[in-house]
Amino acid sequence: MKPLVQISLDLTNIDEALETAEMAIRAGVDWLEAGTPLILAEGLHGVRALRERFPDVPIVADLKTMDGGYLEAEMMAGAGATHVVVMARAHEETIRCVVQAGKDFGVAVMGDNLGYQTMVDGAKRLEELGCDYIVHHIGYDERRGIAARGLPMPSPLDDLRAVVDAVEIPVQAVGGLSLEQAIACPSYGAPLVVLGAPLTIDADQFKTADGNLESSLKLICDQVHAFGEVSK
């Protein structure tokens, strides 16, 4: 598939999320993500607001579902999400429920391997249970906690090639990437480039980062879109 750029709206109010999304779409971003902070703060209203403002843009609802999978996916689909996220550490039946809801309501399922015993095994489990995409994810708390103890901070790039090689479905890498690392993801075989905290959002305060964000996003989008076809 051709590389795509997704912006994670890790914000806590609808107005700022819509403003950031408008800017991102102008810059060439392909997918919008209702990030977990936005869903916690605004719930279905946040997803509905994004859908009303951007009727033709794919919207990822980062639910991080661990239980109640069918209902959560159904509700987000009804609000206008095109993609929902379920965790590899959820029970097998929960993942199956989300996958079934995806089929029933026409949404794609992204499986997140955050916190799984091994990243590769988590990705393989998600694919085997029917997910459409893999979110290869090193979590915010994990990164910050390890760094605070003076240990090397883990990166999604550490295992990205191994995850890509282990599955047949598209992969995205999330968690503490620099701009240069995010742009490089397609060269690892991961065509879905995610921009979010701390790239375009203040990771500590969950607000839009300062600076000329739109011009930076346009440069990033141009570079990602110029990359050739990725096999998955």
Extents of the domains making up the chain: 4-226
Supply the pTM of this predicted model: 0.92
Q: What share of the chain is helix, strand, coil (3-state, %, to 5)?
A: 45, 20, 35
Residue 180 CA to residue 178 CA, distance in Å, equals 5
Look at residue 153 in the predicted model and tell me its pLDDT: 86
- The tens-digit pLDDT sequence of the chain (232 residues) is 999 999 999 999 999 999 999 999 999 999 999 999 999 999 999 999 999 999 999 999 999 999 999 999 999 999 999 999 999 999 999 999 999 999 999 999 999 999 999 999 999 999 999 999 999 999 989 988 998 899 988 899 999 999 999 999 999 999 988 888 999 999 999 999 999 854 555 555 544 555 677 888 898 899 999 998 998 7
Beta carbons of 31 and 3 less than 8 angstroms apart? no
Look at residue 203 in the predicted model and tell me its pLDDT: 52
Beta carbons of 38 and 10 less than 8 angstroms apart? yes
Q: Measure the CA angle with vertex 202, ends 198 and 205; round to 5°.
A: 130
Look at residue 198 in the predicted model and tell me its pLDDT: 45
Range list of H helices, the chain: 14-27, 36-42, 44-53, 69-79, 92-105, 119-128, 140-148, 160-166, 179-184, 213-226
Indicate the DSSP class of residue 118. Answer: S
Non-local CB neighbours of 141 within 8 Å, separated by 6+ positions = none
> Helix 92-105 vs helix 69-79: angle between axes, to the nearest 10 degrees?
30
CATH fold of the domain at 4-226: TIM Barrel (3.20.20)
Beta carbons of 73 and 105 less than 8 angstroms apart? yes
Task: Name the nearest CA neighbour of 170 among 37, 60, 11.
Answer: 60
